[in-house]
Amino acid sequence: MHTIAVARSETETVVNRSRFICTLYRVTTDAEARERISAHRRANWDATHNCTAYVLDEGRAARSNDDGEPAGTAGVPMLEVLRGRDLTDVLAVVTRHFGGVKLGAGGLVRAYGAAVSAAIDAAGTVALANWQRLSVRVDYGLAGSLEGLLRLREDVRLVNVAFGAEVVFDLGCADAELLVDWLASQSAGAAEVEPAGTLRVEL
């Protein structure tokens, strides 16, 4: 799976004098997507249409809305582009300002799809992966050198370092078994490792 490389991106295309402004947002929940849509529509209240499509949860959740355009001519082709690009956690809103020339159903499908494609091309994409998340406890004597080594590893993402009675590293890794063996060798078996779920990372 992939997502857009930026938090927000906007691109404009013109078809027969109608302006199609596609804004892409990174979103992670249905509630966040709906909030973005509401805010976008309020900000663009004077537009002819604000059509939407979004994909979440690695493609398992998806929604679209034609916002007054003929059924299936806006939201669905927008959604098909997002899915065709293997994207997740992305909301597309295409704001149309009517230019006086009717495009017909086929023209609308092409225009809305093309607007989203152009916006994705402009934003760029990054690959995503779900890595295993670990909690690693070590004493202060090991923490400094271990943190430096962890930050050098391309197969590790260090999320947080907490300092208490011990130092706790919250991290994601591509291969937990491999990393656990490495941690044991670096700490002479002193590192305590517990699974902590999964972590979505950009590759």
> Could you tell me the residue range of the domain that residue 148 belongs to?
129-202
Examine the domain organization and report whether 110 and 93 are in the same domain. yes
**Adjacent-strand bridge partners of 170:** 135, 160
Show which of 72, 99, 123 is a domain's final residue: 123
pLDDT tens, position by position, for the chain (203 residues)?
Answer: 999 999 999 999 999 999 999 999 999 999 999 999 999 999 999 999 999 999 998 888 999 999 999 999 999 999 999 999 999 999 999 999 999 999 999 999 999 999 999 999 999 999 999 999 999 999 999 999 999 999 999 999 999 999 999 999 999 999 999 999 999 999 999 999 999 999 999 99
CATH code (residue 179): 3.30.70.240
- What DSSP assignment string belongs to the chain? -EEESSSEEEEEEEETTEEEEEEEEE--SHHHHHHHHHHHHHHTTTSSEEEEEEEEGGGTEEEEE-TTSSTTSSHHHHHHHHHHTTB-SEEEEEEEE--S---HHHHHHHHHHHHHHHHHHHH-EEEEEEEEEEEEEE-HHHHHHHHHHHHH-TTEEEEEEEESSSEEEEEEES-HHHHHHHHHHHHTT--EEEEEEEEEEE-
Examine the domain organization and report whether 171 and 118 are in the same domain. no
Examine the domain organization and report whether 148 and 118 are in the same domain. no
**In degrees, to the nearest 5, what angle opens at C-alpha 202 toward C-alphas 89 and 195?**
95
CATH code (residue 69): 3.30.230.30
**In degrees, to the nearest 5, what angle opens at C-alpha 157 toward C-alphas 151 and 162?**
80
pLDDT at residue 2 in the model: 96
Show which of 103, 123, 143 is a domain's final residue: 123
Examine the domain organization and report whether 160 and 116 are in the same domain. no
Domain count, the chain: 2
Examine the domain organization and report whether 44 and 112 are in the same domain. yes
pLDDT at residue 116 in the model: 98
pLDDT at residue 60 in the model: 87
Sign of the Cα pseudo-torsion (103, 16, 120, 39, in order): negative
Examine the domain organization and report whether 98 and 9 are in the same domain. yes
Please tell me the number of Cα atoms within 13 Å of 108 on its side-chain side.
24
pLDDT at residue 59 in the model: 84
Pseudo-torsion of CA 16, 22, 110, 45, nearest 10°? -60
